[in-house]
Amino acid sequence: MQDLYLPIKTIHMSLAMISLLGFVIRGCWSIQGSALLQRRWVKIAPHIIDTLLLTTAVLLMIILHQHPGNQDWITAKLIALVFYVGFGTLAIKRAPTPVSKTIFFALAIATFGYIVGVAITHHPASWLQMIQRFYD
């Protein structure tokens, strides 16, 4: 199963970037009030991509024998994921004005950045951990 780690990790990271790109496009369309958000493929594709992204995350946890119960950094990623989804939903669907959509969009992007930092550092402090290591 270890020989599957690198391909699954690569797929996971690629899906994360595709998911982010799709979110950025949909977020911009939402802020602008674009009718493109109503297209069928725009509504379906994110669910497919994000389902595959979560599937690869679970596979990586199985392969590495790491899960939220034994790794704080994975717990931090999961909690941040809930916030990312919440902010993203507000940015694209629920916030009433372009200004509020922009604020939630920025919060979602910042949360995504935090998640990436946690994934790289394997620490809940995310990028702050990397900065601390630099000064140690």
- What are the pLDDT digits (tens) for 111-125? 999 999 999 999 999
Determine the structural domain holding residue 86 and report its residue range. 2-135
The whole-number pLDDT of residue 20 equals 98
- Give 47's Cβ-side CA count (13 Å radius): 5
Model-level pTM greater than 0.85? Answer: yes
**Number of domains, the chain:** 1
For residues 59 and 9, give the distance between their C-alpha atoms in angstroms, rounded to a whole number: 9
Q: Name the one residue in this structure whose structure tokens are 């998640």.
A: 115
**pLDDT 10s digits, 32-69:** 999 999 999 999 999 999 999 999 999 999 999 998 98
